[in-house]
Amino acid sequence: MPRLLPARTMRIMITGLVAGSVLMAASVAAAQSAGQVCGAAAVIPLTGSEPPAKIVIDPPLAEPLARGVAVIQYCAQNLHIVPVFGANALAASPRVGHIHVRVDDASWVWADASGNPIILQGLVPGPHKVLIDLVDANHHTLDQGTVTFVVPEKTAAEKHQ
C-alpha cells in the first residue's frame, strides 16, 4: 500500500508548484530574446548594405575639466571600434574601424582602437578644439565630429597646490 504524505507537506508542495508556474509564466511573458535586446549577433553577416557609420561625441565632463583634464566620451554607431587594420578588414561585416584624434589643429593625429573615452591632460588654460574622425580599417574617414571647450584658468590657491 502506497504511503501518503501528510496534508501539510502536500499543501507546501502544491503552493510551491503554483508559485513556480506563476513565476515561469511571468518571466516568459516579460522575456525578450538577446537579439531583441542587443541586436543581431556579430558573427552573422549583414545582408544588403549597412547604414552609414556615425560618431556621437559628448562635451568634456565638467568636473575634470575644472581641474584641467578633458574627458571626452564618444560612441560609434554602425561600426565596431576594434584594433583591426588593412584591406582585408574592409570586408568585415559588421563594419570595423577606429578613430583618429587631432587636438587644436595639430599637424599630427593619433589613432585609437580602444573605444575608451579620450582623456587629455596638460592643456593650457583657454579654448581648445578636438576633431575626432571615425575611420575604416584603411584610415578613410567615414564620419567626424568636433568638440570645443575652454580649460579654465586656475585660481591663485589652485596654482600653489
Mean pLDDT, range 97-111, rounded to an integer:
96
More confident site: 88 or 60: 60
Quick: pLDDT tens for 137-160: 999 999 999 999 999 987 655 555
Q: Where are the domains of the chain?
A: 7-31, 54-159
- The sign of the CA dihedral 21, 23, 26, 27 is negative
Top CATH class, 54-159: mainly beta
List, for residues 32-49, the tens digit of each pLDDT value: 777 666 666 666 555 557
DSSP structure string for 80-101: EE-S--SGGGGG-SS-EEEEEE
Question: What is the pTM (predicted TM-score) of this model?
Answer: 0.67
Judge whether 111 and 99 are in contact, CB under 8 Å: yes
Decide which of 51 and 103 is more confident: 103
* pLDDT score recorded for residue 147: 97
Residue 130: Cβ within 10 Å count: 21
Indicate whether 132 pLDDT > 60. yes
Tell me which residue of 111, 148, 114 sits closest to 131, measured CA to CA: 148
pLDDT score at 25: 46
Q: Is the preceding omega at residue 117 within 30 degrees of 0, hence cis?
A: no
Q: What pLDDT shows up at residue 38?
A: 65
| Residues 149, 30: Cα–Cα separation, whole Å | 44
Residue 22: pLDDT band with limits 50, 70, 90: very low
Residue of higher predicted confidence among 78 and 19? 78
For 119, residues 6+ apart whose C-beta sits below 8 A from its C-beta are 69, 70, 71, 72
Share of the chain above pLDDT 90, in %: 55
Residue 3 has pLDDT above 70, yes or no: no
Check residues 15 and 124 and name the one with the higher pLDDT: 124
